[in-house]
């Protein structure tokens, strides 16, 4: 039987998944190269989701000879279905990443990934992503300092988990960060740039709403504010995302008051 959570994620994110695949033609191995292939596999039960109880997760990983993970994808062989293993409370974070493993692995010359990492990309990896890269999966450096620009860049653009991915020998176009940001990464390059923010918020909110149907007002408020939205819906009603102090009227300057008083002073002043 198809997993409803996985069906909804794949069904709601066709555009993002297709754009992710567009710049990764190497995923065509064994014909697994289209969004429809993934959707058909999900709907036919060829990808199964297995929720392991929280108290059994550590032992489950130990049995699989794995140190730590929030979830993992196990490819089926001999006609058996593929399997995604995780816990129910981790599924929101894990599901998008593991679903993309239907197409490819992380390591060069393995399922769906390029055969090698070329010298330029290797140099860029060693330099922390400071070489120019036009590919949406290319490394993006982490900026120093605590400026607003630096904080925004490090949160929204910088590549995460680079040390881990380098240690494991992952291709940067298929590393942990690339799989974790299937929606955000492709929209920033191929989407309508004037509407990128709303597209990202829409995709993220669909995924969040899928797994957080009973969010409290505070959780919904913080989530919408973090996404930069001006308003959000909670239990059928719309609310703004401003704090109380942001609602205070702007203090008028001396110049504002001077301009307003022209009627009393006469228009020649």
Model confidence over 26-65: pLDDT tens digits? 998 777 789 999 999 999 999 999 999 999 999 999 999 9
At 184 the pLDDT is 56
Average pLDDT estimate for 178-183: 80
Confidence of residue 162 (pLDDT cuts 50, 70, 90): very high
DSSP string, the chain: ---HHHHHHHHH-HHHHHHHHHT-GGGGGGG--SHHHHHHHHHTTSEEEEEPPHHHHHHHHHHTT-S--SEEEE---TTPPEEEEE-GGGHHHHHHHHHGGGT--SSTTSTTS-S---HHHHHHHHTTS-S---STTS--PPPPS--HHHHHHHHHTSPSSHHHHHHHT--GGGSHHHHHTHHHHHHHHHS-GGGHHHHHHHHHHHHHHHH-TT--HHHHHHHHHHTT-SEEEETTEEEE---GGGGSPPPPPHHHHHHHTHHHH-TT-
Confidence of residue 245 (pLDDT cuts 50, 70, 90): low
Q: Say yes or no to pLDDT of 254 above 60.
A: no
Q: Tell which wins on pLDDT, 162 or 183.
A: 162
Confidence of residue 17 (pLDDT cuts 50, 70, 90): very high
At 255 the pLDDT is 55
Average pLDDT estimate for 156-170: 92
Model confidence over 194-241: pLDDT tens digits? 344 444 454 455 555 555 556 787 778 777 777 778 787 877 788 888
Model confidence over 108-147: pLDDT tens digits? 999 999 999 999 999 999 999 999 988 988 999 999 877 8
At 91 the pLDDT is 85
Q: Say yes or no to pLDDT of 183 above 60.
A: no
At 199 the pLDDT is 44
Confidence of residue 158 (pLDDT cuts 50, 70, 90): very high
Average pLDDT estimate for 8-33: 86
Q: What is the pTM of this model?
A: 0.66
Mean pLDDT of the chain, nearest integer: 81
Model confidence over 62-96: pLDDT tens digits? 999 988 889 999 999 888 999 999 999 888 888 88
């Amino acid at each position: 039987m198809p997993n409803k959570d996985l069906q909804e994620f794949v069904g709601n994110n066709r555009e993002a998944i297709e754009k992710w695949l567009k710049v990764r033609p190497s995923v065509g191995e064994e014909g697994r190269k289209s969004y429809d292939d993934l959707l058909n596999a999900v709907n036919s039960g060829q990808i199964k989701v297995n929720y392991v109880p929280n108290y059994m997760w550590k032992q489950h990983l130990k049995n699989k000879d794995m140190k730590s993970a929030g979830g993992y994808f196990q490819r089926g062989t001999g006609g058996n279905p593929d399997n995604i293993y995780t816990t129910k409370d981790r599924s929101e974070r894990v599901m998008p990443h593991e679903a993309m493993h239907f197409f490819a692995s992380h390591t060069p010359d393995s399922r769906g990934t390029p055969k090698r990492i070329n010298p330029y990309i290797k140099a860029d990896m060693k330099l922390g992503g400071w070489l120019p890269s036009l590919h949406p999966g290319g490394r993006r450096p982490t900026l120093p300092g605590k400026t607003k620009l630096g904080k925004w860049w490090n949160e929204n653009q910088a590549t995460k988990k680079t040390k881990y991915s380098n240690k494991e020998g992952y291709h940067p176009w298929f590393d942990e960060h690339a799989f974790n940001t299937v929606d955000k990464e492709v929209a920033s390059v191929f989407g309508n740039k004037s509407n990128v923010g709303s597209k990202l918020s829409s995709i993220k909110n669909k995924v969040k709403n899928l797994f957080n149907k009973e969010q409290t007002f505070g959780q919904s408020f913080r989530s919408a504010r973090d996404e930069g939205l001006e308003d959000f819906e909670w239990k059928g009603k719309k609310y703004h995302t401003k704090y109380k102090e942001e609602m205070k009227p702007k203090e008028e300057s001396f110049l504002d008051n001077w301009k307003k008083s022209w009627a009393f002073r006469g228009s020649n002043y």
